[in-house]
Structure 1
């Protein structure tokens, strides 16, 4: 069976991410795009503002974790995790 060409498929929220970017936590600047998930390269806490506006801190996130959240900002305050990548 031939591989399915997903290049022209619509960008629905249930589709896998098609973009990624390293994140520098910042208390006043939103991500370029709302994430579909956030990858944590170095263990620690992750403080975010969710797409719905709530501020939440995920504590004790393990290195290599992928957190499936729609976040608009990764906060520098309370974030101790490193090598953070947002996917959308």
Structure 2
């Protein structure tokens, strides 16, 4: 099988290389900054953006939130089935 990602430089504008499940945590950042989030079940997401700003947004079922995120807070987050778009 050929790997179209093998010689491709990591890009913030290209496809992510993987999805990783996310467990919201008030005290710890994600293992790597998410390029975006995929959300399975509607609710609110409280997060710290890559710029360091704390935000709270409502999202619908099966939503994609296209913003760089460093932390997702457990407190204030009611949406479930969260997955980060990753580059690694």
Same fold, judged at TM 0.5 (above): yes
Shift of 1:4: 8.8
Aligned length: 85
Q: Deviations for 1:31-63, whole angstroms, at most 9, x for unmatched residues?
A: 01111110111110011100100000012x101
Residues in 2 aligned to 1:69 and 1:17: alpha-carbon distance in whole angstroms: 13
Shift of 1:19: 1.7
- The structure with the larger Rg is 1
Gap regions ≥5 residues in structure 1: none
RMSD: 1.5
Shift of 1:12: 1.3
Residues in 2 aligned to 1:84 and 1:6: alpha-carbon distance in whole angstroms: 24
* Equivalent residue number for residue 76 of structure 2: 78
> 1:80/1:4 Cα in 2 relative to 1: closer, same or farther (>3 Å)?
same
Gap regions ≥5 residues in structure 2: none
Shift of 1:5: 2.6
Scaled by the length of structure 1, what TM-score is found?
A: 0.90
Runs of 4+ aligned structure 1 residues displaced above 3 Å come to: none
